[in-house]
Chains A and B, each alone.
Chain A
Amino acid sequence: MGILTAIAWRNLWRHPTRTVLTSLTMGLGVAFCIFMASWIGGFLDVMRTATVDRNLGHLQIHHKDYPETMNPYDVVPQAQSVIEGLQDKPDVKIVAPRIQAFGMYAGAKDEAASGSFVGVDPEAEKNLTEMHKRVRKGRWLKNSREAVIGHRLAKELNLDVGGELLVVVNALDGSIGNQVYPVVGIYNSGMLERDGGAMFPLQDAQELFAMGDGVHELVVLTQAEEKIETVQNSTTNAYPDLAVRTWYEISPETKQMEDLTAVTSFFFYFIIMAISGFMVVNTLLMSVYERTRELGLFASLGLPPKRVVMMILIESGLLGVLSSLLGLGFGLLGHLFLANYGITMEIKEGEGFILNGVVLDPVIFGQLNMTQAIIPLVIVMFVSVVAGLWPARRAVKLDPVVALAQE
């Protein structure tokens, strides 16, 4: 084995140009796969951030009819005790209550616009969705009796920070809830629907809708992605009358987008690997042809065919290792570049692609997990060893006499 490896290694460096070029081909393939993985990871992260981190949270809890009806009367029963129960769970990081409804809004004029109405616990929302970082002008909610409005509503009503927002809603007791709040901030949440509406402190929203301490939605952030289903199951068991849904049940589009992206990237891996594999087969076949005489010599000297096969496979394996190292090096370099500088995909100023009514961030920074970096390495090793099989078989089948007679 040691000798075979030594021979194989020596064989590789008999033609340094060829070996370097071959491993460069495969190495670049690997590097490209790693770079792509980093890019796709970054893109999915941007998408995840926009939908999950900025809005959905990990889990959402509603009245069991709410997901279907969106009826403002379907509030979470005993929300306060549910919140406390959840907060006691070690896997739960944040629980944020929300009121989701529609309101009519007006600025200084009579003409009104209708849009989404979201009541939030300013502190919890800050920790959960970091909405305070999405305020483009003014500040995030702090005190009671104030409002932050979406940039689209601000434009529609020609309303600025410091102005007064009239909000009128159909309260749950049948009355017309109405109030004027000072606008303390204008936000750009990236969600088209929410940006056409306004957000209010929870208590003010409850008062306006005359809904006591009712809430429509509890948004839960768990300690880790893996805990989502654990928390979902335990919550469902504790409160069988509630609808407890994960973010990917609420927004299957996002999940599907991730799956689609995974399929697409698999497709590109395949192409890269097909090209690299082709190159390895080519290189090794050539090298077998070239060494027909030498291999014939081995055979005539009584080297068992198994060992010849072994030698060639070791050769191709070494080529694979070399390629992997090169690829890992280049790939990580590319990833580091992407992770540090990012690539701007700007559709509009400051805005990236729009998916399902959610505006993505324009700059995509590389994101790579180790599995994604290792998979192409494994593939390239596999491809090079498998690619070595054909030439190896050929070498074994050589008739020593014919082989020795060659040139």
Chain B
Amino acid sequence: MYFIVSSLIILSTPAPAAAGTVPTSDQLKALLTQVDDNGRSNSSHVVMSMRVQTKRFSRKMKMESWSKGKEHSLIRLMDPPKDRGVATLKVGDKLWNYLPNTDRTMRVPSAMMSGAWMGSHVSNDDLVREYRLSEDYTYAMAPGSASLGSERYTIRCTPKPETPVVWGHIDVTVTAKGVPEKQEFYSEKGKKVRTMTYSDVKEVSGIQVPHKMVIQPHDKPNELTEMVFHSLKLNIPIEDSRFSLQALRD
């Protein structure tokens, strides 16, 4: 899933904001473009684990994912054994599931797009929908950003009127080098709805990439979805044919 991977991978190019100064609008845009754009035109392969903690269940999965550009991604479960081989393919805004124990693929019907993906706090719809902070939002320094010191900024991104997202605004905390630390999603009434926290930054192919992300819904305080990268390869050649229904079965 592009969403997951792109949220984590940050290009290593240092942001054009000098530490200790208040960044200009152009500099903010550059920072956000980095948050948006990580490897967008590139490809990735990642092995990761996902832990979902809800009031109802707790579940740990290991998965492998390939992505190429914005349009294509494929993710396949490796563990638990019961779900081994279950795969989700995204091409554009369409989703297919592959179900190994029945050896069948099934396009997710639009009525089910609002459902949770693999039980996590990410919906099927979140997977296929992607908006660019740098283009679909307006941005400014968030109030209180200055108190963070000179090493990081909190940028308040407000969706443009025509952007079809439910949020009132998103506060993105990013280091001066452009590595994201936190995204907080607010409703229009100013209620914090969910937080994504990034940590465990490692360098991959010369890029600073957080290897851990936690999604926390605020109306359910004891719930979270946590993703940890175990291995990450960027800018590797991947055939388009990998993102096909045929390949989904492999």
Residues of A participating in the B interface, judged by any CB pair closer than 8 Å: 73, 102, 104, 106, 110-114, 166, 168, 170-176, 178-180
List of B residues within 8 angstroms of A173 by Cβ = 57, 59, 119
Check A176 against B99 for contact (C-beta < 8 Å): yes
List of B residues within 8 angstroms of A175 by Cβ = 59, 80, 82-83, 86, 118-119
Closest B residue to A173 by beta carbon equals B57
B111 contacts the other chain (Cβ, under 8 Å)? yes
Q: List 10 A-B contacts (CB under 8 A).
A: A104-B109, A106-B104, A110-B96, A114-B112, A166-B106, A173-B59, A174-B59, A175-B119, A178-B99, A178-B104
List of A residues within 8 angstroms of B59 by Cβ = 173-175
Check A168 against B111 for contact (C-beta < 8 Å): no
Closest B residue to A103 by beta carbon equals B112
- For window 76-108 of B, CB contacts with A under 8 Å fall at 80, 82-83, 86, 96-97, 99, 101-102, 104-108
CB distance from A150 to the nearest CB of B (A): 16
CB distance from A105 to the nearest CB of B (A): 9
B189 contacts the other chain (Cβ, under 8 Å)? no
Check B105 against A110 for contact (C-beta < 8 Å): yes
List of B residues within 8 angstroms of A170 by Cβ = 115-116, 119
Distance between Cα atoms of A19 and B134 in the complex (Å): 95
B52 contacts the other chain (Cβ, under 8 Å)? yes
**A106, A111, A166, A178: residue with the most chain B Cβ atoms closer than 10 Å:** A178
List of A residues within 8 angstroms of B104 by Cβ = 106, 166, 178, 180
List of A residues within 8 angstroms of B107 by Cβ = 110-112
List of B residues within 8 angstroms of A114 by Cβ = 109, 111-112
The 8 closest A-B pairs by CB, nearest first: A174-B119, A178-B99, A174-B59, A180-B102, A114-B111, A73-B56, A112-B109, A112-B106
Distance between Cα atoms of A16 and B178 in the complex (Å): 109
Sample of 20 further A-B pairs with CB below 8 A, known A104-B106, A114-B111, A178-B102: A73-B56, A102-B112, A104-B109, A110-B105, A112-B106, A166-B99, A166-B106, A170-B119, A171-B119, A172-B56, A172-B57, A173-B119, A175-B80, A175-B82, A175-B86, A178-B97, A179-B101, A179-B102, A180-B102, A180-B104
Distance between Cα atoms of A154 and B115 in the complex (Å): 24
CB distance from B153 to the nearest CB of A (A): 35
Residues of B participating in the A interface, judged by any CB pair closer than 8 Å: 52, 54-57, 59, 80, 82-83, 86, 96-97, 99, 101-102, 104-109, 111-112, 115-116, 118-120, 245
Check B97 against A174 for contact (C-beta < 8 Å): no
Closest A residue to B124 by beta carbon equals A170
Closest A residue to B103 by beta carbon equals A180
User: A106 touches which one: B52, B55, B106, B245 (CB < 8 A)?
Assistant: B106
CB distance from A1 to the nearest CB of B (A): 78
CB distance from B111 to the nearest CB of A (A): 4
List of A residues within 8 angstroms of B83 by Cβ = 175-176
User: B52 touches which one: A171, A174, A180 (CB < 8 A)?
Assistant: A174
Closest B residue to A174 by beta carbon equals B119
Q: Per DSSP, are chain A's interface residues mostly helix, strand or loop, or mixed?
A: strand
Q: A104-B106, A166-B102, A175-B118 are in contact. Are A110 and B52 (CB under 8 A)?
A: no
Closest A residue to B86 by beta carbon equals A176
Check A110 against B245 for contact (C-beta < 8 Å): yes
Distance between Cα atoms of A175 and B97 in the complex (Å): 12
Closest A residue to B53 by beta carbon equals A174
Distance between Cα atoms of A380 and B161 in the complex (Å): 72
List of B residues within 8 angstroms of A106 by Cβ = 104, 106
List of B residues within 8 angstroms of A104 by Cβ = 106, 108-109, 112
List of B residues within 8 angstroms of A102 by Cβ = 112
CB distance from A110 to the nearest CB of B (A): 5
Check A168 against B99 for contact (C-beta < 8 Å): yes
Distance between Cα atoms of A393 and B65 in the complex (Å): 99
Check A176 against B97 for contact (C-beta < 8 Å): yes
List of B residues within 8 angstroms of A174 by Cβ = 52, 54, 57, 59, 116, 118-120
CB distance from B120 to the nearest CB of A (A): 7
Distance between Cα atoms of A174 and B224 in the complex (Å): 13
Closest A residue to B60 by beta carbon equals A174
Closest A residue to B54 by beta carbon equals A174
CB distance from A193 to the nearest CB of B (A): 13
List of A residues within 8 angstroms of B111 by Cβ = 114
CB distance from B83 to the nearest CB of A (A): 5
Check A113 against B119 for contact (C-beta < 8 Å): no
Closest A residue to B119 by beta carbon equals A174
**A104, A113, A172, A176: residue with the most chain B Cβ atoms closer than 10 Å:** A176
